[in-house]
Amino acid sequence: MKILILSTYDLKGGAGKAAFRLLKCLKTNPEFDAKMFVYEKSSSDENVFQIQTFWTKYFGKLIQAFDNLFLIFFPNRNGAIFSTAWISLASVNRYIKEFGPDVINIHWVNNGFISLNQISQFPKNIPIVFSLHDRWLMTGGCHVSYDCDKYKVGCEKCVQISSKYKLDLSAINFNRKKALINGRANFNIIGVSKWMKDSAEKSEILNKIPSVNLPNPIDTNFYSPLNKEYARSVLGISTEKTILLFGAFNATTDFQKGFHYLKNVIDLLDQKKYLLVIFGNNGTSHFENLGLEFLQFGHIHDEMTMRILLSAADIFLLPSLQENLSNSVMESLSCGLPIVAFDVGGNSDLVKHKVTGYLAKPFDILDFSNGIDYISNEDNLGSNARAHAQANFDYNILSKSYFDYFKTIILK
């Protein structure tokens, strides 16, 4: 079975990393012939192909800028990522023809990689499966919609771009996506979390499209617990305190990641009991008057360092405002690290309350701090977390699930 995975990145960003892990997962099954086409390749994997032409090599950034050109008419937008998919950096149709896939599996293809128009031109006889890593396909351009439910009825007067007009950029994009979906036969949706599948079913654009819930996979053989004392010695951490781990790309500056909530949680904790370890940040300005001993590790660029960091910690903290199926949480579970998170988005797929972690009431600071204290006094949550990851997200488990699913798509 030939599967073509399309993603802007292979190792960059959460969605790119998830798509690459799916490739690795599929390759464990000899019945799959899987390839991945990307705009920007970071891995050395021979099954990942970078689609690069003269234009993308020398004018890629300029083309990407043109794709967001219309945003200049909305100078008061909130700064959150908003993608239009007007322009394609490169045509993948030639590569599709050469490879001859049985299924085209589209992941996160924004930043000018593949436009909506190019997707509409993909061969009609090849089924398309779109894996949803956020709500972009069902909105007028935003990726994280927060408490806005316009994706259920039709986007207009978009808050994220500060528009007061019914026929604005979000409305135009919304209608373009609706036309694309309505114009394609055998278009299918994977919600990588139950929450994302539910969002698709409520969406005005996607509610008539067949959808399933299939999670991202993880290599639980690699992401496995190391001896805690050894991991701490490698990192140069010497403490008797309970180590709280928090991190993401731009962990302290990305509003979505909830560091502003975490700072309030810290005020409620016993400062003598906990040490906070942070990764994915630069500088110390955000830690003034933090009120808790902390260590910084900056951006983590390799998975072995991440595995060591997860093994050294006692609790992973996820105060995000919205998550789909967090790679960091999945990695933590696989390394036997319990989680405290707000009960939002797809977090409940990963965190089983008081079993693999603690799900706090959304944005309830006191409940989040109670969760930290609860886990610090429990001994079996780490082994539960590891078992949950192995039973539900391991490559061997999900390679079969994806094979069975793709087979049904091909036979439609």
The values of phi and psi at residue 266, to 5°, are -60, -35
Pairing of strands 294-296, 315-318: unpaired
Q: What pLDDT sits at residue 49?
A: 94
CA-based max dimension of the chain: 63
Read off the pLDDT of residues 122-181 as tens digits, 9 standing for 90 and up: 999 999 999 999 999 999 999 999 889 999 999 999 999 999 999 999 999 999 999 999
| pLDDT surpasses 90 at 29 | yes
Read off the pLDDT of residues 308-343 as tens digits, 9 standing for 90 and up: 999 999 999 999 999 999 999 999 999 999 999 999
Written as one string, the DSSP assignment of 290-346 is: --S-EEE-----SHHHHHHHHHH-SEEEE--S--SS-HHHHHHHHTT--EEEES-TT
Q: What is the mean pLDDT of the chain?
A: 93
CA distance 350 to 263: 24
Q: What pLDDT sits at residue 377?
A: 93
CA distance 83 to 15: 15
Q: What pLDDT sits at residue 58?
A: 67
Read off the pLDDT of residues 217-256 as tens digits, 9 standing for 90 and up: 999 999 999 999 999 999 999 999 999 999 987 888 888 8
Residue 47 pLDDT class (50, 70, 90 cuts):
very high
The CATH class, in words, for 228-392 is: alpha beta
SS (H, E, C) 11-55: CCHHHHHHHHHHHHHHHCCCCCEEEEEEEECCCCCCCEEECCCHH
The values of phi and psi at residue 359, to 5°, are -100, 110
Residue 30 pLDDT class (50, 70, 90 cuts):
very high
| pLDDT surpasses 90 at 355 | yes
The CATH number given to 2-217+395-410 is 3.40.50.2000
Residue 79 pLDDT class (50, 70, 90 cuts):
confident
With pLDDT > 90 as the criterion, what percentage of the chain qualifies? 78
Using an 8 Å Cβ cutoff, are 277 and 266 in contact? no
> Of 10-14, 75-79, 188-192, which gets the smallest average pLDDT?
75-79
Read off the pLDDT of residues 48-72 as tens digits, 9 standing for 90 and up: 999 876 666 667 777 777 777 888 8
With pLDDT > 70 as the criterion, what percentage of the chain qualifies? 97
Q: What pLDDT sits at residue 143?
A: 95
Placement of tokens 């790119």 in the chain: 16
* pTM to 2 decimal places: 0.94
Label residues 376-401 b or e (16+ Cβ within 10 Å = b). beeeebbebbbebbbebbbbebbbee
Q: What pLDDT sits at residue 64?
A: 74
Q: What pLDDT sits at residue 280?
A: 87
* C-alpha pair distances (Å), 148 with each of 108, 153, 157, 162, 272: 21, 11, 11, 13, 41
Mean pLDDT of 347-357: 97
Placement of tokens 């039973």 in the chain: 391
Q: What pLDDT sits at residue 8?
A: 94
| pLDDT surpasses 70 at 211 | yes
Coil, strand or helix: which one is 211? strand
Q: What pLDDT sits at residue 43?
A: 94
Q: Residues with Cβ < 8 Å from 2, sequence gap 6 or more?
A: 33, 34, 35, 99, 100, 101, 102, 103
> Would you mind telling me the total number of residues written for the chain in this entry?
412
What are the start and end residues of each CATH 3.40.50.2000 domain in the chain? 2-217+395-410, 228-392
Read off the pLDDT of residues 88-104 as tens digits, 9 standing for 90 and up: 877 788 889 999 999 99
Residue 202 pLDDT class (50, 70, 90 cuts):
very high
Using an 8 Å Cβ cutoff, are 315 and 340 in contact? yes
CA distance 189 to 199: 11
| pLDDT surpasses 80 at 303 | yes
CA distance 153 to 140: 11
Q: What pLDDT sits at residue 285?
A: 63
| pLDDT surpasses 70 at 359 | yes
Coil, strand or helix: which one is 121? coil
